[in-house]
Amino acid sequence: MSGPQLRRRFGAASRGFKAARGACLAGAVAALLAGCVTASGPGRVGDMQSVMATLGPSSLFAGVDPGDRWLIVGTPSGDTARMATDEGLPVVLITAGSDELILGRRIDQHLLAAPYLTWSWKMSPHPGAYHPVRIAVGFADTSRPLDPKDVTLRDLPDGVRVLELVWNQRALRRGSLDMPNGDRPARYTVRGGAESLGKRWQEGVDLISLHDRAWPGLSTSHTRIVFVAARTVPGDWRNTGMSVPAALVSDLRLMR
Protein backbone atom coordinates (compact mmCIF):
# COMPACT_ATOMS: atom_id res chain seq x y z
CA MET A 1 0.00 0.00 0.00
CA SER A 2 1.43 3.38 -0.98
CA GLY A 3 2.00 6.33 1.36
CA PRO A 4 -0.82 8.45 -0.13
CA GLN A 5 -3.26 5.53 0.14
CA LEU A 6 -2.27 4.98 3.75
CA ARG A 7 -2.72 8.65 4.56
CA ARG A 8 -6.13 8.76 2.87
CA ARG A 9 -7.35 5.71 4.73
CA PHE A 10 -6.02 6.93 8.06
CA GLY A 11 -7.47 10.38 7.44
CA ALA A 12 -10.89 8.95 6.65
CA ALA A 13 -10.81 6.84 9.78
CA SER A 14 -9.83 9.78 11.96
CA ARG A 15 -12.60 11.99 10.57
CA GLY A 16 -15.11 9.21 11.06
CA PHE A 17 -13.98 8.75 14.63
CA LYS A 18 -14.49 12.43 15.28
CA ALA A 19 -17.97 12.26 13.72
CA ALA A 20 -19.36 9.98 16.46
CA ARG A 21 -18.54 6.67 14.83
CA GLY A 22 -15.62 6.08 17.18
CA ALA A 23 -16.61 2.70 18.54
CA CYS A 24 -16.96 1.19 15.08
CA LEU A 25 -13.90 2.81 13.52
CA ALA A 26 -11.50 2.32 16.43
CA GLY A 27 -10.90 -1.26 15.39
CA ALA A 28 -10.55 -0.21 11.76
CA VAL A 29 -7.82 2.30 12.57
CA ALA A 30 -5.97 -0.29 14.66
CA ALA A 31 -6.29 -2.83 11.85
CA LEU A 32 -4.93 -0.31 9.38
CA LEU A 33 -2.02 0.44 11.69
CA ALA A 34 -1.13 -3.22 11.89
CA GLY A 35 -2.16 -4.31 8.41
CA CYS A 36 -1.21 -1.57 5.95
CA VAL A 37 2.51 -1.75 6.53
CA THR A 38 5.07 -4.13 5.10
CA ALA A 39 6.35 -6.08 8.08
CA SER A 40 8.42 -9.04 9.19
CA GLY A 41 8.74 -10.59 12.63
CA PRO A 42 12.05 -10.38 14.54
CA GLY A 43 12.47 -14.11 14.88
CA ARG A 44 16.21 -14.07 14.07
CA VAL A 45 19.10 -12.14 15.59
CA GLY A 46 19.44 -10.07 12.42
CA ASP A 47 15.79 -9.08 12.57
CA MET A 48 16.15 -8.00 16.19
CA GLN A 49 19.17 -5.89 15.25
CA SER A 50 17.06 -4.17 12.58
CA VAL A 51 14.35 -3.42 15.12
CA MET A 52 16.81 -1.90 17.55
CA ALA A 53 18.54 0.08 14.79
CA THR A 54 15.22 1.56 13.72
CA LEU A 55 14.31 2.52 17.27
CA GLY A 56 17.65 4.22 17.75
CA PRO A 57 20.55 3.71 15.34
CA SER A 58 23.91 3.67 17.10
CA SER A 59 25.17 6.36 14.72
CA LEU A 60 22.61 8.74 16.22
CA PHE A 61 24.02 8.01 19.67
CA ALA A 62 27.66 8.46 18.61
CA GLY A 63 29.72 9.39 21.65
CA VAL A 64 26.76 8.64 23.89
CA ASP A 65 26.55 4.86 23.76
CA PRO A 66 29.76 3.62 22.10
CA GLY A 67 29.20 0.07 23.38
CA ASP A 68 25.91 -0.20 21.51
CA ARG A 69 24.36 -1.83 24.58
CA TRP A 70 20.77 -2.92 24.30
CA LEU A 71 18.16 -2.83 27.02
CA ILE A 72 15.62 -5.60 26.47
CA VAL A 73 12.95 -6.61 28.97
CA GLY A 74 10.51 -9.34 28.00
CA THR A 75 10.61 -11.53 24.92
CA PRO A 76 10.24 -9.71 21.60
CA SER A 77 8.35 -11.72 19.00
CA GLY A 78 6.52 -11.17 15.75
CA ASP A 79 3.38 -10.52 17.78
CA THR A 80 4.91 -7.73 19.88
CA ALA A 81 7.70 -6.08 17.85
CA ARG A 82 8.50 -6.35 14.17
CA MET A 83 10.04 -4.33 11.40
CA ALA A 84 7.67 -2.45 9.10
CA THR A 85 7.60 0.18 6.38
CA ASP A 86 5.16 3.04 6.76
CA GLU A 87 4.88 5.85 4.20
CA GLY A 88 8.14 4.58 2.73
CA LEU A 89 10.04 4.85 6.02
CA PRO A 90 11.33 2.06 8.29
CA VAL A 91 9.46 1.79 11.58
CA VAL A 92 8.91 -0.73 14.35
CA LEU A 93 5.36 -1.99 14.83
CA ILE A 94 4.96 -2.47 18.60
CA THR A 95 1.83 -4.24 19.84
CA ALA A 96 0.72 -4.37 23.46
CA GLY A 97 0.45 -7.79 25.08
CA SER A 98 -0.04 -9.58 28.36
CA ASP A 99 3.62 -9.09 29.32
CA GLU A 100 5.77 -6.01 29.62
CA LEU A 101 8.16 -5.28 26.76
CA ILE A 102 11.01 -2.77 26.79
CA LEU A 103 13.25 -2.18 23.77
CA GLY A 104 15.94 0.43 24.13
CA ARG A 105 19.55 1.34 24.66
CA ARG A 106 21.72 1.75 27.71
CA ILE A 107 23.28 5.20 27.74
CA ASP A 108 25.76 6.98 30.00
CA GLN A 109 25.51 10.65 29.14
CA HIS A 110 25.23 13.79 31.21
CA LEU A 111 21.74 15.25 30.86
CA LEU A 112 23.11 18.75 30.28
CA ALA A 113 25.12 17.46 27.30
CA ALA A 114 22.16 15.79 25.53
CA PRO A 115 19.00 17.49 26.77
CA TYR A 116 16.66 16.93 23.82
CA LEU A 117 14.90 13.74 22.78
CA THR A 118 13.07 13.37 19.48
CA TRP A 119 11.19 10.47 17.89
CA SER A 120 8.32 9.61 15.55
CA TRP A 121 5.19 7.62 16.34
CA LYS A 122 1.77 6.77 14.96
CA MET A 123 -0.82 5.46 17.41
CA SER A 124 -3.88 3.21 17.25
CA PRO A 125 -7.03 3.61 19.39
CA HIS A 126 -6.70 2.33 22.92
CA PRO A 127 -8.82 1.70 26.01
CA GLY A 128 -8.14 3.71 29.14
CA ALA A 129 -6.58 7.11 29.57
CA TYR A 130 -3.08 6.26 28.32
CA HIS A 131 -1.88 4.30 25.32
CA PRO A 132 0.07 1.24 26.54
CA VAL A 133 2.95 1.96 24.14
CA ARG A 134 5.13 4.81 25.36
CA ILE A 135 8.71 6.13 25.48
CA ALA A 136 10.69 5.71 28.72
CA VAL A 137 13.80 7.61 29.80
CA GLY A 138 15.95 6.60 32.78
CA PHE A 139 17.94 9.08 34.88
CA ALA A 140 20.50 8.57 37.65
CA ASP A 141 23.08 10.60 39.55
CA THR A 142 25.90 8.08 39.12
CA SER A 143 27.73 6.89 36.04
CA ARG A 144 26.67 3.51 34.61
CA PRO A 145 24.27 2.35 37.36
CA LEU A 146 23.04 -0.45 35.09
CA ASP A 147 25.04 -3.67 34.91
CA PRO A 148 26.38 -3.82 31.31
CA LYS A 149 26.25 -7.63 31.46
CA ASP A 150 22.55 -7.66 32.31
CA VAL A 151 20.94 -7.58 28.86
CA THR A 152 17.49 -8.50 30.17
CA LEU A 153 17.20 -5.99 33.00
CA ARG A 154 13.96 -6.54 34.92
CA ASP A 155 14.48 -4.60 38.16
CA LEU A 156 15.92 -1.11 38.10
CA PRO A 157 18.48 -0.41 40.83
CA ASP A 158 17.76 2.15 43.52
CA GLY A 159 18.39 5.70 42.43
CA VAL A 160 17.20 5.28 38.84
CA ARG A 161 14.33 7.66 38.06
CA VAL A 162 12.01 6.98 35.12
CA LEU A 163 10.10 9.46 32.97
CA GLU A 164 7.45 8.09 30.63
CA LEU A 165 6.39 10.07 27.55
CA VAL A 166 2.83 9.04 26.84
CA TRP A 167 -0.17 9.44 24.53
CA ASN A 168 -3.39 10.43 26.28
CA GLN A 169 -6.96 9.72 25.26
CA ARG A 170 -7.75 13.42 25.67
CA ALA A 171 -6.04 16.05 23.52
CA LEU A 172 -6.47 18.66 26.26
CA ARG A 173 -4.13 16.71 28.52
CA ARG A 174 -1.19 17.57 26.28
CA GLY A 175 1.61 19.09 28.34
CA SER A 176 0.34 17.71 31.66
CA LEU A 177 2.63 15.83 34.05
CA ASP A 178 1.69 13.11 36.52
CA MET A 179 4.22 13.23 39.33
CA PRO A 180 6.13 10.07 40.29
CA ASN A 181 4.58 8.19 43.18
CA GLY A 182 6.22 5.13 44.74
CA ASP A 183 6.94 2.65 41.97
CA ARG A 184 4.96 4.68 39.42
CA PRO A 185 7.20 6.71 37.10
CA ALA A 186 6.70 10.34 36.20
CA ARG A 187 4.35 10.51 33.21
CA TYR A 188 4.28 13.38 30.70
CA THR A 189 1.53 13.61 28.08
CA VAL A 190 3.13 14.49 24.76
CA ARG A 191 -0.01 14.30 22.61
CA GLY A 192 -3.45 12.72 22.48
CA GLY A 193 -7.01 12.80 21.23
CA ALA A 194 -8.98 10.72 18.74
CA GLU A 195 -8.37 13.24 15.94
CA SER A 196 -4.63 12.59 16.07
CA LEU A 197 -4.79 8.80 15.87
CA GLY A 198 -3.41 7.08 12.78
CA LYS A 199 -1.15 9.99 11.83
CA ARG A 200 2.62 10.15 11.99
CA TRP A 201 3.85 12.70 14.53
CA GLN A 202 7.41 13.90 14.95
CA GLU A 203 7.89 14.72 18.63
CA GLY A 204 10.54 16.52 20.63
CA VAL A 205 10.90 17.20 24.36
CA ASP A 206 13.28 19.11 26.61
CA LEU A 207 14.42 16.51 29.14
CA ILE A 208 15.96 19.09 31.50
CA SER A 209 12.66 20.95 31.78
CA LEU A 210 10.69 17.75 32.34
CA HIS A 211 13.19 16.45 34.91
CA ASP A 212 12.96 19.72 36.83
CA ARG A 213 9.15 19.47 36.85
CA ALA A 214 9.06 15.82 37.89
CA TRP A 215 11.79 16.01 40.55
CA PRO A 216 11.87 19.68 41.61
CA GLY A 217 14.12 19.02 44.60
CA LEU A 218 16.91 17.46 42.56
CA SER A 219 19.55 19.41 40.71
CA THR A 220 20.38 18.32 37.17
CA SER A 221 24.04 19.24 37.63
CA HIS A 222 24.93 15.56 38.23
CA THR A 223 22.03 13.88 36.44
CA ARG A 224 22.88 11.35 33.72
CA ILE A 225 20.68 9.67 31.12
CA VAL A 226 21.08 5.92 31.60
CA PHE A 227 18.59 4.52 29.07
CA VAL A 228 16.07 5.47 26.40
CA ALA A 229 13.50 2.88 25.32
CA ALA A 230 10.10 2.09 23.88
CA ARG A 231 7.92 0.32 26.43
CA THR A 232 4.55 -1.45 26.46
CA VAL A 233 2.43 -1.72 29.58
CA PRO A 234 0.95 -5.23 29.92
CA GLY A 235 -2.79 -5.77 29.97
CA ASP A 236 -5.69 -7.98 28.98
CA TRP A 237 -7.03 -6.50 25.74
CA ARG A 238 -9.47 -9.26 24.84
CA ASN A 239 -12.68 -7.69 26.14
CA THR A 240 -12.11 -4.02 25.40
CA GLY A 241 -14.30 -3.85 22.29
CA MET A 242 -11.39 -2.80 20.07
CA SER A 243 -8.29 -4.26 18.50
CA VAL A 244 -5.13 -4.73 20.54
CA PRO A 245 -3.42 -1.31 20.90
CA ALA A 246 -0.37 -0.82 18.70
CA ALA A 247 2.03 1.92 17.62
CA LEU A 248 4.56 2.59 14.89
CA VAL A 249 7.72 3.97 16.51
CA SER A 250 11.02 5.04 14.97
CA ASP A 251 14.07 7.26 15.07
CA LEU A 252 14.70 7.86 18.77
CA ARG A 253 17.38 10.54 18.94
CA LEU A 254 19.21 12.26 21.75
CA MET A 255 20.33 15.70 20.66
CA ARG A 256 22.71 18.26 22.08
Domain extents in the chain: 3-255
Name the residue among 42, 24, 11 with its Cα closest to residue 197.
Answer: 11
CA separation for the pair 163, 186 (Å, rounded): 5
Q: Which amino acid is residue 160, in one-letter code?
A: V
Number of Cβ within 10 Å of residue 38's Cβ equals 10
Q: What does the pLDDT look like over 116-139, one tens digit per residue? A: 999 999 999 999 899 999 999 999
> End-to-end alpha-carbon separation of the chain, Å?
37
Pairing of strands 161-168, 186-192: parallel
What pTM, to 2 d.p., does this model score? 0.79
CA separation for the pair 161, 182 (Å, rounded): 11
Contact 124, 198 (CB under 8 A): yes
> In the prediction, which pLDDT does 104 show?
84
> Pick the residue with more confidence: 174 or 26?
174
Confidence check: pLDDT of 216 > 80: yes
- Provide the mean pLDDT of the chain: 77
Confidence check: pLDDT of 111 > 70: yes
Q: What stretch of H or E contains 35?
A: helix 22-35
CA separation for the pair 102, 76 (Å, rounded): 9
User: In this structure, which CATH number among 2.60.40, 2.60.120, 3.10.530, 1.10.405 belongs to the domain 3-255?
Assistant: 2.60.120
- Sheet bearing 177-178, strands edge to edge: 70-73, 101-110, 224-232, 133-140, 161-168, 186-192, 177-178
CA separation for the pair 72, 88 (Å, rounded): 27
